[in-house]
Amino acid sequence: MKSEARNPHLDELDIDFLYHLGLNTGMDLKNMFSGVKYVCMGGSADRAEALAQKAAEELGVAVPEGGVQTIGKTERFSLYRVGPVISCSHGMGMPSMSILLHEMAKLMDYAGCQDVQFIRVGTSGGVGVEPGTVIVAEEGLNGKLQLAFEQVELGETYSYQTRLDRQLAQDILAARGDIRAQLGKTMGTDDFYEGQGRLDGALKPRYTEAQRMAFLRRANEAGVRNIEMEAPAFAAFCLRAGIPAAIVCTTLLNRLEGDQVRSTPEQLAQFSDNAQRVVLRYIRGQLGKAVAGA
Amino acid sequence: MKSEARNPHLDELDIDFLYHLGLNTGMDLKNMFSGVKYVCMGGSADRAEALAQKAAEELGVAVPEGGVQTIGKTERFSLYRVGPVISCSHGMGMPSMSILLHEMAKLMDYAGCQDVQFIRVGTSGGVGVEPGTVIVAEEGLNGKLQLAFEQVELGETYSYQTRLDRQLAQDILAARGDIRAQLGKTMGTDDFYEGQGRLDGALKPRYTEAQRMAFLRRANEAGVRNIEMEAPAFAAFCLRAGIPAAIVCTTLLNRLEGDQVRSTPEQLAQFSDNAQRVVLRYIRGQLGKAVAGA
């Protein structure tokens, strides 16, 4: 985090309780987390564990018998550390993501970690791309197709920019190897059903099938290649904090062809694995460079 | 769900995959869920399990050895059924809650459940009330102190009303027994830190301590007794669907006195238990009436 972005009020706290992580500054956070360079965030606890386990294999980091272990409490988020990598779940949607971002940025700061990158590794609905394609986000758009994240503070609405780190996106894409991946704009919405123009929600929608398709085509023409539920908040926070950030999401379906996720559990696991592998290949490559340059 | 609110497009689906619940209409949902009358929703999987276990005890429902069992997949939400009660987690924030609401309303509809009530049972920050107090919401306000939930659909913003069922709130409050509980307005925000005027987020806030306190006092004067992250979306959905709905949240701290949650884990467990007990007493009373009236 850049020093000018840091909250000066934190200096007034004797102990800072990172409530949703179950960690606090009374613990030896430096000992627990020093050396972390990459914070990977995925939606569910299952995926955070899977990514941590794969990171251990890909990076050759020894793990305890029985596999990787969580750190802190697991009621809200599940956090793993594997060498220079943290893998943590963020739940679904921007409010949940936002909580994790604040506490993770403070954690990295308290632990004295330098030059940390935040990478969201997740799943999404594709727009005009084949299911299983990994989209590395060029930028994050909100549900109104704006390059903005709107947040209400003390009753007033403020708008924050949602640019992402272009170089980091290029570097991650370059590490894709044999996995189908491409750059694209990622739209993040506050709802999965009506917020993404689905016709399979519980309630009678106010829009028709033709209006739904026209909106998805308009998004596609604006460069949107996938839709998820975290991009604007994630991009805006990291930009404010001065943390290099990337969003790498696999697509589970093509929204131009339907609303329902109909792939088999095996296919879905493979799709999710695609995004994680791209990111781990990127990290392995960076660590190799660091060793070669040492 | 009232019939005029139901999404007619659902009739076009051969099978409806309730993706985040891991259930679908190819399963015998009637057999699995018929007789459910109360859907209780709490933030975390741990709390959903705790409420299910307590429901079994309070209502005298037999559970398998080893305790209550989840139904469907547990990657996103954890769902338990105990007699006439479903206990399910909803994650943090309105986008996550919204996903659950759509899929749960469809589930109840497909299972043929009639006259179902949705009750959110959770935790919150208090505003001018002693920690541990249970607030039964009279209505849900958004972060701008409006009786509204704003949702973006196909790129446009729409506003929905957030009235709750006053009679249901009264009935739940009347079941409080020896637990400290009261009516109040519940404010739901899209962020825990800057969205609730906290001074302990990662980033330098744009507001001062004096402005923060002025906003919390203004909210308090408007009748707000607690702040959480789901009320407007929950109230708006249930009102549109015609589902009687209540929000029953314990308070973990008094925001007029600070931002950090500093109670011990034992106190926090007791606080959380308070809200669950009030709701279970209400349900037990209703079931007793049904038996007496039969």
Whole-angstrom Cα distance, residue B80 to residue B71?
A: 6
Residue A87: burial class (beta carbons within 10 Å; 0-12, 13-18, 19+) = buried
Q: Please report residues of B whose CB lies closer than 8 A to that of A76.
A: 43-44, 92
* Contact (CB, 8 A) for A226 and A251: yes
pLDDT at position A245 over 90: yes
**Confidence (pLDDT) at A226:** 98
B201 with A7: Cβ contact below 8 A? yes
B154 with A207: Cβ contact below 8 A? yes
Element (DSSP H or E) covering residue A109? helix A94-110
Amino acid at residue number B58 = E
Which pTM value belongs to this model?
0.97
* Contact (CB, 8 A) for A102 and B193: yes
CA contacts within 13 A on the Cβ side of B134: 28
Whole-angstrom Cα distance, residue A153 to residue B278?
A: 32
B95 with A229: Cβ contact below 8 A? yes
Q: What is the DSSP letter of B70?
A: B
Hey, how many other C-beta atoms are within 10 angstroms of the C-beta on B40? 27
Residues in chain A: 294
Q: Which of A10, A205, A229 sits opposite B200 (nearest CB)?
A: A10
Cα–Cα separations (whole angstroms), residue A171 to A133, A177, A282, A283, B254: 17, 12, 7, 10, 47
B203 with A16: Cβ contact below 8 A? no
B102 with A260: Cβ contact below 8 A? no
**pLDDT averaged over 10-residue windows placed end to end, chain B, 294 residues:** 96 96 98 97 96 96 93 96 98 98 98 98 97 96 98 98 97 98 98 96 97 97 98 98 98 92 88 96 92 67
* Contact (CB, 8 A) for A43 and B93: no
**Confidence (pLDDT) at A261:** 83
Within 223-242 of B, beta carbons closer than 8 Å to A belong to 229, 237, 240-241
Q: Please report residues of A whose CB lies closer than 8 A to that of B200.
A: 7, 9-10, 13, 16
B199 with A9: Cβ contact below 8 A? yes
Find, in chain A, the residue whose alpha carbon is nearest to that of B192.
A99
Cα–Cα separations (whole angstroms), residue A274 to A122, A159, B128, B136, B163: 10, 33, 49, 45, 44
A7 with B203: Cβ contact below 8 A? yes
Whole-angstrom Cα distance, residue A266 to residue A272?
A: 10
Question: Structurally, how many domains does chain A consist of?
Answer: 1
* Contact (CB, 8 A) for B112 and A114: no
When mean pLDDT is compared across A48-57, A265-274, B198-207, B225-234, the lowest value belongs to A265-274
Q: Please report residues of A whose CB lies closer than 8 A to that of B204.
A: 4-8
pLDDT at position A143 over 70: yes
Amino acid at residue number B186 = T
Any CB–CB contact under 8 A between B218 and chain A? yes
**Confidence (pLDDT) at B209:** 95
When mean pLDDT is compared across A25-39, A113-127, B277-291, the lowest value belongs to B277-291
B6 with A197: Cβ contact below 8 A? no
The torsion angles phi and psi of B246, rounded to 5 degrees, stand at -140, 155
Find, in chain B, the residue whose alpha carbon is nearest to that of A208.
B9
Q: Which of A47, A200, A218 sits opposite B10 (nearest CB)?
A: A200
A–B CB contacts, 8 A cutoff, strictly below = 225
Find, in chain B, the residue whose alpha carbon is nearest to that of A230.
B95
Q: Which of B95, B142, B260 sits opposite A191 (nearest CB)?
A: B95
Element (DSSP H or E) covering residue B69? none
**Confidence (pLDDT) at A265:** 87
Whole-angstrom Cα distance, residue B121 to residue B138?
A: 14
Q: Which residue has the tokens 């109670």?
A: B263
For B176, the token pair is: 């409080």
What residues contact residue B57 under an 8 Å CB cut-off, 6+ apart? none
Range of the domain at B233: 3-293
Whole-angstrom Cα distance, residue B192 to residue B190?
A: 7
pLDDT, tens digit, 9 for 90 and up, residues A161-205: 999 999 999 999 999 999 999 999 999 999 999 999 999 999 999
CATH of the domain at B93: 3.40.50.1580
Q: Which of A17, A25, A90, A152 would you mutate first to test chain B, the one with the most B CBs within 10 A?
A: A152
**Confidence (pLDDT) at A293:** 65
Which of A275, A125, A122, A134 has its CA nearest to residue A195? A125
Tell me the pairing of strands B134-141 and B245-254: antiparallel
pLDDT at position A126 over 90: yes
Whole-angstrom Cα distance, residue B160 to residue B233?
A: 9
pLDDT above 70 coverage of chain A, percent: 99
Residues in chain B: 294
Ramachandran region, residue A159 (left: φ > 0; alpha: ψ -120 to 50; beta: rest): beta
Whole-angstrom Cα distance, residue A150 to residue A152?
A: 7
Maximum distance among all alpha carbons in chain A? Answer: 61
Whole-angstrom Cα distance, residue B122 to residue B230?
A: 10
Hey, how many other C-beta atoms are within 10 angstroms of the C-beta on A281? 17
For A202, the token pair is: 């519980």
Q: Which residues pair with B151 in a beta bridge?
A: B158
pLDDT at position A294 over 90: no
Q: What is the DSSP letter of A2?
A: -
**Confidence (pLDDT) at B293:** 66
* Contact (CB, 8 A) for B99 and A192: yes
Q: What is the DSSP letter of A26?
A: T
What residues contact residue B252 under an 8 Å CB cut-off, 6+ apart? B123, B124, B125, B126, B131, B261, B263, B268, B271
Ramachandran region, residue B55 (left: φ > 0; alpha: ψ -120 to 50; beta: rest): alpha
